Structure 1
Amino acid sequence: MAGRLTEVPGVVAVALGGSRARGTHRPGSDWDLGLYYRGEPDVTALARLAEELTGAPVEIAAPGGWGPWVNGGAWLTLDGVALDWILRDLDRVERVWADCCEGRYEVGTQPGHPLGFWSPAYPGEVALGRVLADPQGELTVLQEAVRHYPEPLRAALVAASWEAEFSVAAARKSAGRGDALHVALCLSRAFGVLVQSLHAHHRRYVLNEKGALASAAALPAAPPDFAARVSAALTALDAGAVEAADALVREVRTALSP
Structure 2
Amino acid sequence: MSAHPRTLHTRPTTPLQHDPSVERPEVTGAESGPESPFPVYLEGWVTRGFGRGSKDLGCPTANLPDSSIDPYATTLQTGVYYGYARVLDPPDHPQNSLEFSTSASSSSSSTPCPHDQVWPMVMSIGWNPFYKNRSRTAEVHILHDYPHDFYGKELRVVMLGFIRPEYNYSSMDALIKDINTDKEVSLRSVSRPAYTPFAQDPFFTRESRLEEPKEDPNKVREKPTMEEREKL
Fold in common (TM above 0.5)? no
- Structure with greater helix percent: 1
Name the TM-score, length of structure 1 as normaliser.
0.22
- Structure with greater strand percent: 2
Asked which structure has the greater CA Rg, the reply is: 1
